[in-house]
Amino acid sequence: MELSDRARAILDEARRAGANDVAWRQGRVFSLAYYAGPEVELVAEGAYAMYSSANGLNADAFPSLKKFQSEVVATVTNWVAGDAEAAGFMTSGGTESILMAVKASRERGRRERGITAPNAILPASAHAAFEKACYYFGVEARRVPVRSDWRADVDAMSGACDENTVLLVGSAPQYPQGVIDPIPEIAAVAARLDVNCHVDACMGGVTLAFLERLGESVAPWNLAVPGVTSISVDLHKYGYTAKGASVIVHRNRLLRSYQTFVTDNWLGGLYGSSGVLGTKSGGPMAAAWAVTKFLGDEGYTDLTRRARETCLRLADGIDRIDGLVVRARPDSTLLSFGADEREHPVDVYAVADVLATRGWYLDRQGPPPSLHCTVNASHAATVDEFLADLGEAVADVTSNHRRGGAGAYGTVD
């Protein structure tokens, strides 16, 4: 339809508001956004727009959304080696998937063992969303230090368990240093205790599945590992779909049932919900379905290869810059780097400040003070330019003794 002058003016204002946003489509952002090219973006936007006002609260009214969710979950279940018994749901993102994993663990402990003071055993590297979930659902979060290689210390995790433990967590990979935790060993502890073991593969679920298909050796990480009870995979990351799309897959329907909520204790009739949200836009569900269909195995294989090769090029390039060290050789497409403490340590937060003046955006994290790169396919075209600017930024910070601030991974503004 023809837009009115008022409508066009408002849309123009919305467009101008983004003038100072990070340039994620140009491969200059190593966090927050993922780009597989203009055609994939158009597919996602088109499907999203068609169903943006459709409501996932009730699949009877919107059977289209039931189709999208069912087929997307089936696709992800295949990627994570789930069998015919596996079952899952789509969520609004990795945080909601993690919330649901913790909620399901608490409910299982409550119903099967009468636990009223549950705890979850978390490596220090497990995502902050687990802390949020434990806070929301009244579960004690027991953080356990990681090993010197940044991977979960299974003996320490086992030692932190007691009769009220309902969940052990491993990551594939963990976010801060990009390494895969020893999932079989963590899952074995959980199986021995007959409690849940959740694998946070929000970052790696797509990448690791297709790295295996590319012939790379990948540490065991998915539902093929005995004792793993659930796994989360974000599609709005390396699935390159629109924001608001993640999947949690449980080993079977009984375990999935602990995630759901159902009540008729009000005057409005039976209310059932699979996650935190009640009303939820069908847009992300439709976009995830459309993009996964559009890319298919061939598309994801190519995107994974490009991202992985670029990540390794980046790691090798950082290793060649005096004063910097890669925290760990990346197991997928995430890496972290900081100052080489054997020399006069450079302030990496100041390095990030200098890079920002050149249009680059990286996460700042710690401890220890580090910069983090989430590498996706769009960085293949910009990695050499970034490495050149990084080297110059280190030299600038070193010669001028610059200092920087730690920033924040997430904000509450």
Task: Note the pLDDT tens digit of each residue in 131-169.
Answer: 999 999 999 999 999 999 999 999 999 999 999 999 999
Residue 59's pLDDT is what? 87
Strands (E) in 84-134, as ranges, are 87-91, 119-123
Tell whether 130 and 211 lie within a shared domain.
yes
203 part of a folded domain: yes
Give me the sign of the Cα torsion angle 213, 215, 218, 223: positive
Strands 119-123 and 140-144, by their bridges, are parallel
410 part of a folded domain: no
Confidence of residue 343 (pLDDT cuts 50, 70, 90): low
**CATH number for the domain harbouring residue 334:** 3.90.1150.10
Domain count, the chain: 2
238 part of a folded domain: yes
User: Which DSSP helix (H) or strand (E) runs through 184?
Assistant: helix 183-193
- Domain end among 237, 268, 293: 293
β-bridge partners, 397: none
Residues with Cβ within 8 Å of 167's Cβ and at least 6 positions away in sequence, in order, are 101, 102, 105, 106, 118, 120, 121, 139, 190, 195, 196, 197, 198
367 part of a folded domain: yes
pLDDT digits (tens, 9 = 90+) for 250-277: 999 999 999 999 999 999 999 999 999 9
> Residue 126 burial (CB < 10 Å; 0-12/13-18/19+)?
buried
Strands (E) in 244-383, as ranges, are 246-250, 261-263, 271-273, 324-326, 334-339, 363-365, 370-374
Tell whether 240 and 367 lie within a shared domain.
no
β-bridge partners, 234: 246
Task: Report residue 372 as tokens.
Answer: 């983090």
Residue 15's pLDDT is what? 93
pTM of the model: 0.94
What is the arrangement of strands in the sheet containing 87-91, beginning at the earlier edge strand?
Answer: 87-91, 246-250, 230-234, 196-200, 165-171, 119-123, 140-144
Q: Average per-residue pLDDT in the chain?
A: 95
Confidence of residue 175 (pLDDT cuts 50, 70, 90): very high
Which structural domain, as residue segments, surrounds residue 378? 296-399
What's the full length of the chain, in residues?
413
β-bridge partners, 372: 336, 363
Residue 404's pLDDT is what? 84
**CATH number for the domain harbouring residue 233:** 3.40.640.10
Say if CB 242 and CB 287 are below 8 A apart. yes
Say if CB 91 and CB 81 are below 8 A apart. no
Tell whether 104 and 216 lie within a shared domain.
yes
Annotate 319-348 with b (16+ C-beta within 10 A) or e (fewer): eebebbbbbbebbbbbbbbbbeeeeeebbb
Tell whether 251 and 324 lie within a shared domain.
no
β-bridge partners, 140: 119
Strands 165-171 and 196-200, by their bridges, are parallel
Closest CA to 36 of 53, 50, 49, 24: 24
User: What sections of 320-401 are H helices per DSSP?
Assistant: 348-357, 383-400
Residue 284's pLDDT is what? 97
User: Which DSSP helix (H) or strand (E) runs through 170?
Assistant: strand 165-171
User: Which percentage of the chain shows pLDDT scores above 70?
Assistant: 99
How many CA atoms lie less than 13 Å away from 307 in the CB half-sphere? Answer: 34
